């Protein structure tokens, strides 16, 4: 449902220059593709977020939250309704608790994952180095259980606070969260908005931590294509044990392209935008990869990247 004149007026009154109408989502995704969202809104406080969600629900406007858009593709026709971005008002990181060998760090959902990694290194705290080089926000990282072969958010999250559609802020301890491979599942159809993550880290030797950090970054830079817009690994690794990248490579698809979308010749599980890609190009290439991998290996590849819009 498109926004009415009244909706636009209300949004402008509440959010002034923190609302953009018909905003190209290509400006909010690392793939640099995606049609316009009816409105992109940046609330700065929980009160503002609450009144926005309340307004959307009361008026039947769809809404969704995105972080830095590094794990999404927005289709070329864009997104109807309101896209909520938390990077302006929800980005603090601080130490909230210390006991024995544990330190609890609180990070708001709009803070960058790299900021939390740097905070941990600066304070000689072990646990976050695995996430070095993962772009995006803490909210996006928790929502997708971002990680590497070394670890994932599920290993370091101690608790989270979410804003539920009903308007309540609820704290979930880790034992009550349903993390799985690149996923955090909820029982409700209407997804809560992640506000804060609490991370359990451990004091360690600062020099050793920095050394490990630079090795991790070196390995990452050597493996992944630099420069071209993308969303990281496109497909989840199947449970069969062979990585998605290896399957795509063995299917002879490195360098395969549709329009401006191309399978990276450096890392076969990266689809890159060579400059002129549309979301449709990327999705057609995705389908071609899925079909070929299934035909050759009998395995279904599942996208890790979330496809939004229409
Ligand atoms: C070069 C590159 C390398 C990458 N390497 C890795 C890697 O090693 N490992 C890995 O796991 N990922 C990797 N990624 C993917 C991506 O960076 C991560 O998944 C990241 O954590 C997504 O964060 P984001 O803020 O960009 O989320 P977005 O892409 O904006 O959103 C992703 C999903 O999370 C939801 N979401 C976002 N914020 C919230 C919130 N506050 N509450 C509820 N839901 C929310 C969105 O609705 C969407 O469904 C890489 C991406 C790139 C471009």
Q: Are residues 107 and 200 in the same domain?
A: yes
Question: What distance in Å separates the CA atoms of residue 265 and residue 255, rounded to the nearest whole number?
Answer: 5
Q: Are residues 98 and 218 in the same domain?
A: yes
3-state secondary structure of 10: helix
Atom of ligand 1 nearest to the CA of 142: 21
Residue 298's pLDDT is 96
Instruction: Tell how strand 79-85 and strand 63-66 pair up.
Output: parallel
**pLDDT 10s digits, 199-230:** 999 999 999 999 999 999 999 999 888 889 99
Residue 111's pLDDT is 98
Task: Tell me the mean pLDDT in the region 254-272.
Answer: 97
Does the C-beta of 135 come closer than 6 Å to ligand 1? yes
264: which residues sit within 8 A by CB, 6+ positions away?
A: 225, 228, 230, 254, 270, 271, 272
Residue 231's pLDDT is 97
Does the C-beta of 197 come closer than 6 Å to ligand 1? no
Residue 1's pLDDT is 65
Give the CATH number for residue 150. Answer: 3.30.465.10
144 CA to centre of ligand 1 in angstroms: 6
**DSSP conformation class of 120:** H
Does the C-beta of 151 come closer than 6 Å to ligand 1? no
Does the C-beta of 272 come closer than 6 Å to ligand 1? no
Question: How many C-beta atoms lie closer than 10 Å to residue 42's C-beta?
Answer: 21
4 CA to centre of ligand 1 in angstroms: 31
Within 13 Å of residue 175, how many CA atoms lie on the same side as its CB?
0
Give the CATH number for residue 291. Answer: 3.90.78.10
Q: Is the pLDDT of residue 2 over 90?
A: no
Q: Is the pLDDT of residue 24 over 90?
A: yes
Q: Is the pLDDT of residue 191 over 80?
A: yes
Per the structure, the count of domains in the chain is 3
Give the CATH number for residue 20. Answer: 3.30.43.10
Q: Are residues 209 and 238 in the same domain?
A: no
Domain boundary among 173, 202, 222: 222
Task: Tell me the mean pLDDT in the region 131-142.
Answer: 98
Q: Are residues 102 and 200 in the same domain?
A: yes
Instruction: Tell how strand 183-185 and strand 193-203 pair up.
Output: unpaired
13 CA to centre of ligand 1 in angstroms: 31
Question: What distance in Å separates the CA atoms of residue 45 and residue 90, rounded to the nearest whole number?
Answer: 7
Task: Tell me the mean pLDDT in the region 70-96.
Answer: 97
Question: What distance in Å separates the CA atoms of residue 147 and residue 152, rounded to the nearest whole number?
Answer: 4
HEC-encoded secondary structure of 66-114: ECCCCCEEECCCCEEEEEEECCCCCCCEEEEEEECCEEEEEEECCCEHH
What residues act catalytically?
182, 233, 304
Round the average pLDDT of the chain to a whole number and report it: 96
User: Residue 136 sits in which domain range?
Assistant: 93-222
């Amino acid at each position: 449902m498109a926004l009415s004149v009244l909706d636009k007026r209300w949004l402008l009154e509440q959010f002034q220059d923190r609302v953009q109408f018909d905003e190209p989502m290509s400006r909010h995704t690392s793939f640099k593709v995606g049609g316009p969202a009816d409105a992109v809104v940046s609330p700065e406080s929980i009160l503002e977020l609450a009144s926005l969600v309340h307004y959307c629900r009361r008026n039947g406007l769809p809404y969704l939250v995105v972080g830095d858009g590094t794990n999404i593709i927005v289709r070329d026709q864009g997104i109807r309704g309101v896209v909520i971005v938390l990077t302006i008002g929800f980005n603090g990181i601080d130490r909230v608790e210390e006991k024995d060998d544990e330190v609890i760090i609180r990070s708001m959902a709009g803070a960058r994952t790299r900021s939390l990694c740097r905070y941990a290194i600066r304070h000689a705290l072990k646990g976050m180095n695995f996430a070095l080089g993962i772009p995006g926000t803490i909210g996006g990282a928790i929502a997708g259980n971002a990680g590497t072969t070394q670890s994932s958010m599920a290993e370091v999250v101690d608790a989270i606070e979410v804003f539920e559609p009903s308007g309540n802020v609820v704290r979930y301890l880790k034992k009550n969260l349903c993390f799985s491979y690149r996923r955090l599942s909820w029982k409700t159809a209407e997804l809560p908005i992640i506000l804060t993550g609490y991370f359990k880290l451990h004091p360690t030797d600062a020099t050793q931590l920095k050394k490990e950090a630079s090795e991790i970054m070196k390995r990452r830079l050597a493996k992944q294509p630099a420069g071209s817009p993308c969303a990281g690994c496109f497909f989840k690794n199947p449970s069969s044990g062979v990585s998605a990248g290896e399957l795509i490579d063995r299917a002879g698809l490195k360098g395969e392209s549709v329009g401006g979308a191309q399978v990276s010749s450096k890392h076969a599980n990266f689809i890159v935008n060579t400059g002129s890609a549309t979301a449709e190009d990327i999705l057609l290439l995705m389908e071609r990869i899925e079909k070929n991998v299934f035909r050759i290996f009998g395995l279904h590849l599942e996208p890790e990247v979330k496809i939004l819009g229409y």
